[in-house]
Amino acid sequence: PGAFQQLILSLYNQSLDIASDFFNNSSDNSIVDLYCGTGTSMFRWSRNGSNVMGVEVGAESIECAKLNVPTATIYRGACRQRVPQIKQWVQEQRDGGKTILLYVNPPRTGIEEEVLNWVVNEGKPDKIAYLSCSAGTLSKNLNVLTNKCYRVVRLIPFDFFPQTIHVECLALLEKVEK
């Protein structure tokens, strides 16, 4: 009961299909999945052979994620609190020759400042798929990302909550040299 899941599964799956295609999801990739919820997205990445690591704050969501993706590394807590574990996992994956990708689906407040700082200054994943439920925080976060080392490849709106003012947006970004 305490775990959140998108209500219109077909639209959510469409957004995951687009992200997976953008990632060229394969066993050559390792994907950090922040705000991973019940593990639906992690299941998608692992099904295609990627190593996955997720972070989620909700205990019930974590229990579901562990059932959905038993091979994933999953940490409970705010993503900003788990930056040390994320750093270590990413370094181990890079040492193993993996391409690092990032999928984020944060709450309305957006990506936490500490996490954004890690992404642009240290983590520097090759690609980012960012599913946002707030145009305002998406804009602020994209400003940080594009002023550092990313460019927006595509923005795709999704009406996950029909007959409301809420529109989700999938932003696809790739790393560029600056």
Q: Is 146 helix (H, G, I), strand (E, B) or coil?
A: helix
- Return the pLDDT at 177: 76
- Return the pLDDT at 6: 67
Note whether 173 and 130 are within 8 A (CB): yes
d(CA 146, CA 144): 6
Q: Which residues contact 143 (CB under 8 A, 6 or more apart)?
A: none
d(CA 6, CA 13): 10
Angle at 138 between CA 137 and CA 139, to 5 degrees: 90
- Return the pLDDT at 163: 85
- Return the pLDDT at 22: 97
Strand order of the sheet with strand 29-34? 73-76, 51-56, 29-34, 99-104, 127-132, 168-175, 150-158
Q: Which residues of the chain have pLDDT under 70?
A: 1-7, 178
Kindly report the number of other CB atoms within 10 A of residue 148's CB atom.
16
- Return the pLDDT at 160: 83
Q: Which amino acid is at 112?
A: E
- Return the pLDDT at 20: 95
- Return the pLDDT at 2: 56
C-alpha distance across the termini of the chain, in Å: 45
- Return the pLDDT at 162: 83
Kindly report the number of other CB atoms within 10 A of residue 34's CB atom.
22
Name the residues annotated as catalytic: 133
Core vs surface per residue 41-78: b (16+ CB within 10 A) or e? bbbbbbeeebbbbbbbbbeebbbbbeebbeebbbbbee
